[in-house]
Chains A and B, each alone.
Chain A
Amino acid sequence: MSSRTSWIPYALIAPSVLFLAAFFLVPLVQTVWLSFSGDEGLSLVNYQRMAGDLNFSLAIQNTFLLTLVVVPIQVALALVMATMVSKLEKGRDIALWILTIPLGISDLAAGLAWLSLLQNTGYLNSALYALGIIPGPVGWLSQETPWSLFAAIAMAEIWRATAIVLVILIAGLQLIPKEFSEAAEIFGAQPWTRFRRITLPLLKPSLQSALILRTVLAFEVFAVVYALGGRNFPVLAGEAYTWQNENQNYGVAAAYAVLIMAISLAATALYLRVLRTRPEQLP
Chain B
Amino acid sequence: MTHPVPFRAIAVAAALFGGVSAAQAQETIFYSTQLRPIEEATKVRDVLLKGLSGKVIYVVDEPPAFAVRMKAETQAGKRTASVVGALHGELQPHVPADIEPIDDVAAKLKDRGIPASLMELGKLGTGHQQYIPWMQATYVMVANKQALQYLPQGADVNTLTYAQLQEWAKNIVDKTGQRRLGFPAGPTGLMPRFFQGYFYPSFTGGVVTTFKSPDAEAGWNAMKELWAVSSPNSTNYNFMQEPLMAGEVWIAWDHIARVKEALTLQPDQFVAFPAPAGPKGRGYMPVIAGLAIPKGAPNRAGGVAVIEHMTKPETQLATAAEVGFFPVVKADLPPNLAPGIKLLAGAVDATQNAKDALVSLLPVGLGAKGGEFNKVYTDTFQRIVLRNEPVKDVLESQAKVLDALMKDTGAPCWAPDKPSQGACPVQ
Contacts and interface: CB of A to CB of B under 8 A. Distances in A.
Given A120-B248, A248-B372, A139 B233 contact: yes
B174 to A, nearest CB: 14
A35 to B, nearest CB: 17
Contacts of B177: 135-136
Interface in B357-392: 368-372, 374-375, 379, 382-383, 386
Interface of A: 54, 119-121, 135-137, 139, 141-145, 226, 229-232, 242, 244-249
Contact of A121 (B186, B232, B248, B383): B248
17 contacts: A54-B379, A119-B233, A120-B233, A120-B246, A135-B177, A137-B178, A139-B233, A141-B233, A229-B236, A232-B235, A242-B187, A244-B64, A245-B64, A246-B187, A246-B188, A247-B374, A248-B371
A141 B236 contact: yes
In which size bucket is the chain B interface? 20 to 34
A246 B379 contact: no
Contact of B232 (A136, A139, A244): A139
Closest 4 CB pairs of A and B: A248-B371, A142-B232, A247-B371, A144-B232
Given A120-B248, A137-B178, A226-B187, A248 B235 contact: no
Contacts of A248: 64, 67, 93, 368-372
Given A120-B246, A229-B236, A232-B236, 4 more contacts: A54-B379, A135-B177, A231-B235, A246-B375
A135 B93 CA distance: 50
A142 B233 contact: yes
Which of B93, B187, B247, B368 has its CB near the most chain A CB atoms (within 10 A)? Answer: B187
B372 to A, nearest CB: 5
Contacts of B247: 121
B372 A249 contact: yes
Interface string B71-114: 00000000000000000000001000000000000000000000
Contacts of B246: 120-121
B178 A136 contact: yes
Nearest to A49: B372
Nearest to A141: B236
Contacts of B236: 141-142, 229-230, 232
Contacts of A135: 177
Which of B178, B233, B374 has its CB near the most chain A CB atoms (within 10 A)? Answer: B233
B233 A247 contact: no
Interface string B237-281: 000000000111000000000000000000000000000000000
Nearest to B65: A245
B186 A231 contact: yes
Contacts of A136: 177-178
Nearest to B63: A245
Contacts of B382: 54
Nearest to B372: A247
Nearest to A39: B408
B248 A143 contact: no
A110 B371 CA distance: 30
A112 to B, nearest CB: 10
A219 to B, nearest CB: 20
Contacts of A230: 186-187, 235-236
Contacts of B232: 139, 142-145
A120 B179 CA distance: 12
A54 B187 CA distance: 16
Contacts of B93: 248
Nearest to B186: A230
A253 to B, nearest CB: 11
B341 to A, nearest CB: 27
Which of A54, A119, A142, A249 has its CB near the most chain B CB atoms (within 10 A)? Answer: A54
Which of A136, A229, A245 has its CB near the most chain B CB atoms (within 10 A)? Answer: A245
A204 to B, nearest CB: 41
A139 B188 CA distance: 20
Interface string B404-423: 00000000000000000000
Contacts of A142: 232-233, 235-236
Contacts of A246: 187-188, 371, 374-375
Contacts of A54: 379, 382-383
A231 B187 contact: yes
Contacts of B386: 143
A249 B178 contact: no
Contacts of A229: 236
Contact of B235 (A143, A244, A247, A249): A143
A137 B235 contact: no
